[in-house]
Structure 1
Amino acid sequence: MKKSTRRRISILVIEDDPGDLGLIRSNVRLAGLKRIGEDDPVIWASTLADGIAAAAFNKPDVVLLDLSLPDSAGITTVERMRAAAPTVPIIVLTGQDDHQLAEAALQAGAQDYLPKGQLFQHDALGRAIRHALVRQKLESRLHLLDAALNAVASGIVITDLSAAIEWANPAFTQITGFATAEVVGHNPGEMLNSGKQDGHFYEGMWQTILAGRVWTGELVNRRKNGSLFDAALTISPVTGGDGSIRHFVAIM
C-alpha cells in the first residue's frame, strides 16, 4: 500500500479550560486531522503569553484562540496574537455567539469565528480549520502576486470594462508622473493622450480587446508634466468563469 505523504497539521490551542481542550482534541481526531499512529497535532497553551511563545517556537499551521484568558480578554487578545504571528490563520473560540463580536474579531485579524457550542459538532471544527488553511494559502499567493506586480519595472494598470483604472503599480506612476490617487477611476487614454494618435488608432485598439484578443502596439503618451514619451503597450482582456470580459490589464 502506498504510504500517505500528507504533512501533519500543527494546531496551537490557546485555551485555559482543560475541559474545552479535551473536547477540541477529541474533535480534531474525529474530524480526521489526526490519523492513527501520528503524534498529537494539538499544542496547548493556557495563557496568551504562553501561546505567543509556543507560536514562535513551534510555528503552528493554525491557532485556535479563546477570547477569555487569564492574561488577556476580548478583541485585544486577537490583536496581540495577530501581531505575534502575522501569517498564521487564527480561529477565535468564544462562548458568546455574538455577530458584532465576530465581526470585530475578523477585523482584528482572525480568519474565522467559532462559538464553543459548535465544538460539539466535530465537522464544524474540522471544516473551520481546513477552510482557514486553504484561505491562508490563497492569501499568501495573492500577497506574492501583489508584491511581484509592484516590483516590476513595467507600468501596469488594471481597468474595468469602461477602461476606468482600478489599480496601478508604482512603475506606472513613476513613468507617467501621476500618483495612484490621481489615476484611479480615470481612463488612461484620456490622461495620457498626446494627440499623436487619431481616433482610428484607439477605435482599432478597442475593437481588438472587446473581441477578447490581446492588443499590442506603440504610441506616444504625455506625462503629467507635459513631456512626451514613447511607449510599447500590451492590453489583455481578463475573462470570468463564464467567458465574459471583466477587466483589462495594460502593460507599458
Structure 2
Amino acid sequence: MNNEDRFSRYSRQIFIEEIGLEGQKKIMNAKVLVIGAGGLGSPVIQYLAAAGTGTLAVADFDTVELHNLNRQVVHTEHSVGISKVESAGQFVKSLNHQVNFTGHQLKMDDANAEELISGYDIIVDGSDNFRTRYLINDTCVKLGKPLVYGSILGFSGQVAVFNCQGSRNLRDIFPEPPSDEYIPDCDSLGVLGALPGIVGSMMANLALEIMTGLPVPVNKLTLINTFNWTFQTVDF
C-alpha cells in the first residue's frame, strides 16, 4: 500500500487535530497485547486493527464455541471448533493486512506472564476471571506497562486505565480478588451481547489515546449500567 492509499485509509483519524499524521505514525508503530479474544477482546481487536495498530498481539488458550457468537464478534460460525487466536488472526488479516498480527496460543500463568507482557507497549485486559486480571495487573506494575482494564456481567461493565504514567492500579481500588464462592460469571448469570461491544469499544478508544499521547482518565473507574443507562465515574 502506497502512502496515498495509507493516508486515504486512515484519513478520518488523521483529520482529527489532536491526532494528525504524527499520531497516526504512533499508532502504526505501537505494539499492543490484547489478553483474551472473547467478548471484550473482540471489539478491541476490531478497532485496533481498523486503526492500523502496528503490532497487534492476542493471547488466548480457548477454542470458539457456538455460545460465544452472541458477543464475540471477530468469530463466525465457520470459526467454531478452532482456536480463538487463529480465528482472531484470520479476522485481522481480512480487515487490515498491514497490521502485524502475533498470536499467543496459551493460558497466562505465573511462569509466562512476565515474558509475554514485556514485549509490548500497551496491555489490554479482556480476560474473564479475577486470577488472570490480578496477574496481568501485577505484572504490568512490575514492568511499568500501561494497562487498559475492563469487565462485564449482565447489563453492567467497568473500564479503567491502570499504571499509566505513574497512576494507580487495580490493587489500589480492589486490594484483593473476591473469594471464589462469591465470584459471579457470564456462564451462570449471562451477558447481553451488545454490552461487551460498548465496553470493549471504550477500551479500544483508551488504548488509542495512550498510543497517540492524548490525555486519558487515570485513577478513575467508570461504571456502566446499560439496564438503567447510567454512567458513573469513581475516583480512587
Q: TM-score normalized by structure 2?
A: 0.36
Report the structure, 1 or 2, having the larger strand content: 1
Structure having the higher Rg: 1
- Return the structure number with greater relative CO, CA threshold 8 A, min gap 6: 2
